């Protein structure tokens, strides 16, 4: 079964509220990730269906679990909310897994908690299916992400714009500590609990920092920042738009978390927005690197009282941060350039390569070309612009690696399949009608995204005009 060791519950009571799931009426299994369960499980035994339904619908407690709703704050679209928290989620506990790592298990859509702010805490089936599909696809594309263990329908009706079937997702994460977790205690001026959270985070996620015993909180900040700097350029390389990069949706573990109105671009558009609520384009495709810096500035502001205990001088701390953010900015640009260059067969990005990357993207945007397929076709040597082809081949010729090696590199980082919006929508619509066949087909196909399998050729095609998805919705 699962080996729970719930260290977060040992933190002070201000960090969470004990809670329990609403009772599901008639849970039915939609999806079960047995490979993930075997990684988490303390044994290699299969879990009976009746236990899956009971445990992951919230009908009964998994032995060893201690459900709580965690508190956090957050900057939402630039505006600070001093108290948010798990309004429709329950942290079941922490599992010590077979790979010797610790994972959080969380139910999403399991009913109201102390932090629901008047909401019902439930989830319709659609958002559960979207997160299950996209989070698992991201994992197989090699992007750090939360994962999906189980999806069940509850037998209850959830009322939004219309009555919808209710569902619960079981999410697996390295942890659910967010930038907003630090902001909560900082906003209250509660330095003691801010330090408690920082010490806990260091011990659980960055134990190597403890060994230096120098500037612990500064090193914590740098470690969290590096994970974000490595993560978000990977999104851009896949044409992924998170849609809600609020600080309460920013994991300190560097995992993609909270798949709401997320989407992958079809035709390339540098300022593409899908989220219906992002009317100003704050979280557009080409703004995501800037938002990394903005969110890190929020984290720095929250941790500032702890920096002062190590630094001692406010002016010196501010000067140090200003200098560090210049470094972060340069690192983000370099990481992004490296991701994009590898997509074009360039093994080691040079500053001048930005010009050739930008030129290719400009061609895609001017000609309304599909982002994913255009890069994939480039890996086969298919180039529509003769002038660009000459420049590109000349750049590849400057490397020690052969053209064939460059093409192999490109095919390893340019997916053949991505979770296209119209395919997700089709799977949701069919699932709402009671047919999960297409949902399971997508989940299977997206486990090998870089393999050109003609069996799935239809899944690699851009949407027809009538299939295009203009807006995505959070679904809460």
Query: What is the DSSP track for 295-358?
Result: HHHHHHHHHHHHHHHHH--HHHHHHHHHHHHHHHHHHHHHHHHHHHHHHTT-SS--TTHHHHHH
In this prediction, residue 468 carries a pLDDT of 93
Q: Tell me which residue of 462, 354, 408, 178 sits closest to 186, measured CA to CA.
A: 178
Look-up of token digits 């460059």: 406
Look-up of token digits 């093409």: 407
Q: Once rounded to an integer, what is the mean pLDDT over residues 339-343?
A: 98
Tokens of 414: 């340019």
Beta bridge partners of 124: 166
Residue 398 pLDDT level (bands cut at 50, 70, 90)? very high
Alpha carbons 199 and 289: distance in angstroms, whole number: 28
Beta bridge partners of 263: 241
Alpha carbons 383 and 114: distance in angstroms, whole number: 56
Q: Once rounded to an integer, what is the mean pLDDT over residues 257-275?
A: 96
Candidate list 248, 258, 278, 370, residue with the active-site label: 248
Checking if the pLDDT of 326 tops 80, the result is: yes
Using CB atoms within 10 A of its CB, is residue 57 exposed (0-12), middle (13-18) or buried (19+)? buried
Residue 475 pLDDT level (bands cut at 50, 70, 90)? low
DSSP state of 451: S
Residue 213 pLDDT level (bands cut at 50, 70, 90)? low
Q: Once rounded to an integer, what is the mean pLDDT over residues 279-292?
A: 97
Assign residue 466 a region (left: φ > 0; alpha: ψ between -120 and 50; beta: otherwise). Answer: alpha
Alpha carbons 18 and 29: distance in angstroms, whole number: 27
DSSP state of 401: S
DSSP three-state, residue 221 = helix
Alpha carbons 145 and 303: distance in angstroms, whole number: 25
Element (H, E) at 79: strand 79-81
In this prediction, residue 212 carries a pLDDT of 67
Q: Once rounded to an integer, what is the mean pLDDT over residues 17-21?
A: 95
In this prediction, residue 144 carries a pLDDT of 98
What is the percent of the chain where pLDDT is above 90?
92
Alpha carbons 215 and 224: distance in angstroms, whole number: 14
- What is the model's pTM? 0.96
Q: E strands of 364-422, at which residues? A: none
Checking if the pLDDT of 474 tops 80, the result is: no
Residue 53 pLDDT level (bands cut at 50, 70, 90)? very high
Residues 69-114 pLDDT 10s: 999 999 999 999 999 999 999 999 999 998 889 999 999 999 999 9
Active site residue 387: no
CB 227 within 8 A of CB 253: yes
Alpha carbons 90 and 109: distance in angstroms, whole number: 8
CB neighbour burial string for 195-227, b if at least 16 within 10 angstroms, e if fewer: bbbbebbbebbbeebeeeeeebbbbbbebbbeb
Q: Once rounded to an integer, what is the mean pLDDT over residues 352-372?
A: 97
Read out DSSP for 208-268? HHHHH-SSHHHHHHHHHHHHHHHHHHHHHHTTEE-S---GGG-BTT--B---SS-EE-SB-
Mean per-residue pLDDT over the chain, rounded: 95
Q: Once rounded to an integer, what is the mean pLDDT over residues 258-278?
A: 95
Checking if the pLDDT of 476 tops 70, the result is: no
Residues 425-439 pLDDT 10s: 999 999 999 999 999
């Amino acid at each position: 079964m699962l080996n729970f060791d719930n260290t977060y519950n040992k933190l002070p009571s201000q960090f969470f509220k004990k809670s329990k799931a609403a009772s599901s009426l008639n849970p039915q299994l939609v999806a079960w990730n047995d490979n993930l369960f075997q990684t988490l499980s303390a044994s290699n035994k299969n879990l009976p269906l009746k236990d899956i339904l009971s445990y992951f619908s919230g009908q009964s407690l998994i032995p060893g679990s201690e459900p709580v709703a965690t508190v956090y704050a957050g900057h939402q679209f630039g505006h600070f909310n001093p108290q948010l928290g798990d309004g429709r989620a329950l942290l079941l506990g922490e599992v010590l897994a077979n790979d010797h790592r610790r994972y959080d298990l969380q139910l999403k859509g399991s009913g109201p908690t102390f932090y629901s702010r008047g909401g019902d805490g439930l989830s319709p089936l659609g958002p559960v299916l979207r997160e299950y599909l996209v989070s698992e696809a991201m994992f197989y594309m090699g992007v750090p992400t939360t994962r999906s263990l189980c999806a069940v329908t509850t037998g209850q009706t959830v009322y939004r714009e219309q009555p919808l079937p209710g569902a619960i997702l079981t999410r697996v994460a390295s942890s659910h500590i967010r930038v907003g977790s630090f902001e909560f205690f900082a906003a209250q001026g509660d330095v003691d609990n801010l330090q408690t959270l920082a010490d806990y985070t260091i011990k659980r996620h960055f134990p190597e920092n403890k060994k230096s015993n120098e500037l612990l909180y500064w090193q914590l900040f740098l470690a969290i920042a590096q994970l974000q700097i490595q993560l978000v350029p990977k999104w851009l390389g896949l044409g992924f738009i998170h849609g809600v990069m609020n600080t309460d949706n920013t994991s300190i573990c560097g995992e993609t978390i909270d798949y709401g109105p997320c989407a992958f671009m079809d035709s390339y558009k540098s300022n593409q927005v899908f989220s219906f609520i992002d009317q100003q384009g704050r979280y557009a495709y080409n703004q995501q690197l800037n938002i990394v810096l903005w969110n890190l500035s929020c984290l720095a502001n929250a941790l500032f009282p702890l920096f002062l205990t190590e630094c001692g001088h406010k002016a010196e701390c501010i000067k140090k941060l200003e200098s560090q953010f210049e470094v972060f900015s340069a690192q983000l640009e370099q990481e992004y350039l490296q991701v994009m260059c590898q997509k074009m067969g360039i093994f080691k990005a040079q500053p001048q390569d930005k010009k050739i990357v930008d030129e290719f993207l400009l061609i895609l945007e001017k000609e309304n070309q599909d982002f994913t397929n255009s890069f994939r076709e480039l890996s086969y040597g298919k180039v529509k612009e003769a002038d660009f082809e000459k420049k590109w081949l000349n750049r590849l010729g400057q490397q020690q690696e052969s053209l064939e090696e460059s093409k192999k590199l490109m095919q390893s980082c340019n997916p053949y399949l991505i979770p296209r919006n119209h395919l997700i929508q089709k799977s949701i619509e069919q699932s709402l009608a009671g047919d999960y066949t297409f949902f399971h087909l997508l989940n299977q196909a997206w486990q090998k995204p870089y393999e050109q399998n003609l069996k799935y050729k239809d899944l690699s095609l851009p949407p027809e005009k009538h299939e295009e998805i203009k807006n995505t919705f959070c679904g809460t």
